[in-house]
Amino acid sequence: MVADRNWTEYQLSLEAWRADMEAQLRAEDGWLSTIGLYWLKPGENTLGSASACDVVLPKSLPRKIGVLDFDGKTAILRVTEPVEVLANGVPTRSAPLQDDHDDSEPTIISIGSVSFYIIRRRDQYGVRVKDSNSHARRAFGGRAWFPLDERFRVQATFHTYAAARAIEVENSAGRMASLANVGTVEFELQGKRLRLKAFAAKDNQLWLIFRDSTSGVSTYGAGRFVYADVSDAGIVDLDFNRAYHPPCAFTHFATCPLPPKENVLPIPIQAGERSPE
């Protein structure tokens, strides 16, 4: 009875997690609302719906709104037209914009249903544009999942490094990214001893980026993400039923890191998120 109760609790927990993943994706500012990514150049970057602008916004907005003055590290918004513009919910005509570097909260600029903010990727800065009324958000048919399979929830061992090692990987935008590799996770699945490089995450969790033989067949071709709890003793609850497609599966304007070659598994992981039929 205890085992049955624990299994039921696990099923309910997983269903709640999947529902939350769906809600995050469908949210007004979720990845489905992302409609553009524009890399900034030094100096003046024009902003508006005109195709000649450096940062092109939806046709629902005026052809010209203002400029982003960029000195190589900081972008300052200057609104030059009679348009209502909000910075973190407050009306503004000019404002320096905080970027998203080091998990900082970026300054969100809102104009009607459209918003944008500054992203930093190494020494490059870009403008990510979102529209809560995007076609992708309105037309989305929902995430798809493999049936829950307890065989893909395994106990793994975390082999930590004395200090994190920076490794370079390519991202979905074709640029290089540096990730903090904190150790390796070793486990057995389908009769094979396997290992994945693990990356830093929050509070007793590891972040794993992987591909397997389902990638590009029944799951997203670039790979999937999964977070795993790790105990102080180095025991990892590795549950591939919680593997999910990264943001770049839903928009061309994400900058998702791709798996290092060591994280390509030679087996099919038929668990977690799959591609829609």
Residue 15 forms part of a structural domain:
no
Question: Could you tell me if residue 246 is inside a domain?
Answer: yes
* Boundary of a domain, candidates 139, 168, 201: 139
163 and 267 inside one domain: yes
**Matching residue, tokens 């061309």:** 252
Q: Is the domain of 100 the same as that of 210?
A: no
Task: Provide the pLDDT for residue 68.
Answer: 98
pLDDT score for 6? 87
Q: Which residues, in sequence order, are CB contacts of 83 under 8 Å at separation 6+?
A: 61, 62, 65, 66, 111
My answer on whether 152 and 41 are in the same domain is no
pLDDT of residue 1: 38
Q: Would you say residue 20 lies in a domain? A: no
Instruction: Tell me the torsion sign for CA atoms 216, 220, 222, 228.
Output: negative
pTM of the model: 0.92
Q: Has residue 43 been placed in a domain?
A: yes
Give the pLDDT score at 130: 98
Q: Is 21 helix (H, G, I), strand (E, B) or coil?
A: helix
Q: What CATH number has the domain bearing residue 123?
A: 2.60.200.20
**Residues 134 and 181 both lie in one domain:** no
Please, which residues have CB within 8 angstroms of residue 180's CB and are 6 or more apart in sequence? 164, 165, 166, 199, 200
Strand 114-121 versus strand 124-131 pairing type: antiparallel
Q: How far apart are CA 236 and CA 207, in angstroms?
A: 11
Q: Is 252 in contact with 136 (CB distance < 8 Å)? A: no
What total of structural domains would you count in the chain? Answer: 2
Query: Residue 271: helix, strand or coil by DSSP?
Result: coil
Q: Show the domain range for 82.
A: 31-139
Same domain, 147 and 257: yes
First to last CA, the chain: 37
Based on the fold, state whether residues 148 and 266 are members of the same structural domain: yes
Along the 277 residues of the chain, how does pLDDT read in single tens digits? 345 668 889 999 999 999 999 999 999 999 999 999 999 999 999 999 999 999 999 999 999 999 999 999 999 999 999 999 999 999 999 999 999 987 779 999 999 999 999 999 988 999 999 999 999 999 999 999 999 999 999 999 999 999 999 999 999 989 899 999 999 999 999 999 999 999 999 889 999 999 999 999 999 999 999 999 999 999 999 999 999 999 999 999 999 999 999 999 999 999 999 999 7
Same domain (yes/no): 214, 135: no
